[in-house]
């Protein structure tokens, strides 16, 4: 079981069965919504328990997905596709992400020109 939440504490959750690897997405949309790279892992939607969701707001970011964030502090927290039964959670909002390792970098063709992607995991041009 892992716990996590937003910066101000208005959103708190527990999640079980998280995938052990982190995916770093370098696409333009993730750059805009997170401010840099969106690094996340995933679990089934039924594996999440919200302890507090007072500030949780969902933004429909495309025709196929939405992003969850805290309306009070702006923390980018979740990504879920409408037709999938899993939900991604930002690695940075987990209280203790030390159990995880980098699994892959996706949409590397879109990365910002100001940084280099480490060779710590496979690079996938799109997804």
- The average confidence (pLDDT) of the chain is 95
Per-residue pLDDT band at 127 (split at 50, 70, 90): low
- What pLDDT sits at residue 126? 81
Mean of the pLDDT values across residues 12-39? Answer: 95
φ, ψ dihedrals at 63, nearest 5°: -75, -15
Class of domain 2-122: mainly beta
Do the beta carbons of residue 79 and residue 88 sit within 8 Å? yes
Mean of the pLDDT values across residues 5-18? Answer: 98
CA of 123: how far to CAs of 34, 44, 65, 118, in Å? 20, 25, 23, 9
What CA–CA distance (Å, rounded) separates 104 from 117?
Answer: 11
Per-residue pLDDT band at 2 (split at 50, 70, 90): very high
């Amino acid at each position: 079981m892992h716990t996590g939440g937003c910066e101000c504490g208005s959103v708190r959750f527990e999640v079980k069965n998280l995938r052990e690897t982190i995916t770093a997405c370098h696409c333009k949309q993730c750059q805009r919504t997170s401010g840099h790279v969106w690094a996340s892992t995933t679990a089934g939607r039924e594996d999440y328990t919200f302890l507090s969701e007072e500030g949780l707001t969902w933004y429909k970011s495309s025709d196929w997905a939405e992003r969850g964030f805290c309306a009070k502090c702006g923390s980018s927290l979740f990504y879920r596709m409408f037709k999938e039964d899993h939900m991604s959670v930002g690695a940075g909002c987990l209280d203790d992400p030390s159990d995880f390792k980098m699994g892959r970098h996706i949409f590397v063709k879109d990365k910002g020109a100001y940084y280099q992607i480490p060779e710590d995991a496979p690079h996938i041009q799109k997804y």
